[in-house]
Chains A and B, each alone.
Chain A
Amino acid sequence: QKEVEQDPGPLSVPEGAIVSLNCTYSNSAFQYFMWYRQYSRKGPELLMYTYSSGNKEDGRFTAQVDKSSKYISLFIRDSQPSDSATYLCAMSDASNYQLIWGAGTKLIIKP
């Protein structure tokens, strides 16, 4: 079993829809939870970062962490074709420098 599980998709939704992307994890020591966005043939870029539990909102993006269920989510409101990319979750505990990555979910927003 991988430490971090993420559905690879692709997830295809119409423009304007609300998108929900998710990851589950097994290591209860994880404290830092990140979402990166990766456009085709580019490097990942940090989108959202959350420490411990709770919600964080940034414009059309909301990140949620439920540590009791070991489940994190990224919501995208009013999705745009420019949101089409692969979304990678990543997480780490406080003891080392290594991020543990999900495999990424490919998201397609249809105009």
Chain B
Amino acid sequence: NAGVTQTPKFRVLKTGQSMTLLCAQDMNHEYMYWYRQDPGMGLRLIHYSVGEGTTAKGEVPDGYNVSRLKKQNFLLGLESAAPSQTSVYFCASSYTGKGYEQYFGPGTRLTVT
């Protein structure tokens, strides 16, 4: 099993450009999450999904959109990138909703200039 995979691993964007980050999991997990990790800030939840076709806002959703058209995939979109969105983005998934058993992908390093 590959677990949780993320595409791409690195990306540099200019202010105003758009992009989509792809997360895929092969563990048949119901719940999926997108986080951003910034120095000194810990992990902050952007959006999450409790099942195929569902999405919900997390702690820092502004400037991002998500979609969960298939159970195994969770997409994170940036419509108009800003320098404040420079971060490392992690996708995670879990079987239950209690959250403690989250499995993380390797991360995407995004720089917005």
Contact = CB atoms under 8 A, between A and B. Distances in A.
Interface of A: 4, 6, 8, 32, 34, 41-46, 49, 88, 90, 92, 94, 97-99, 101-104
Given A41-B107, A88-B42, A102-B42, A49 B97 contact: no
* Interface majority SS (helix, strand, loop, mixed), chain A: loop
B42 A97 contact: no
A94 to B, nearest CB: 7
Nearest to B31: A97
A104 B33 CA distance: 19
B53 interface: no
Interface residues of B, number: 26
Given A44-B90, A102-B42, A97 B107 contact: no
Interface string B35-47: 0000011111100
Contact of B99 (A32, A42, A45): A32
B3 to A, nearest CB: 9
Interface in B1-40: 4, 31, 33, 40
A6 B40 CA distance: 10
A96 B99 CA distance: 9
B45 A43 contact: no
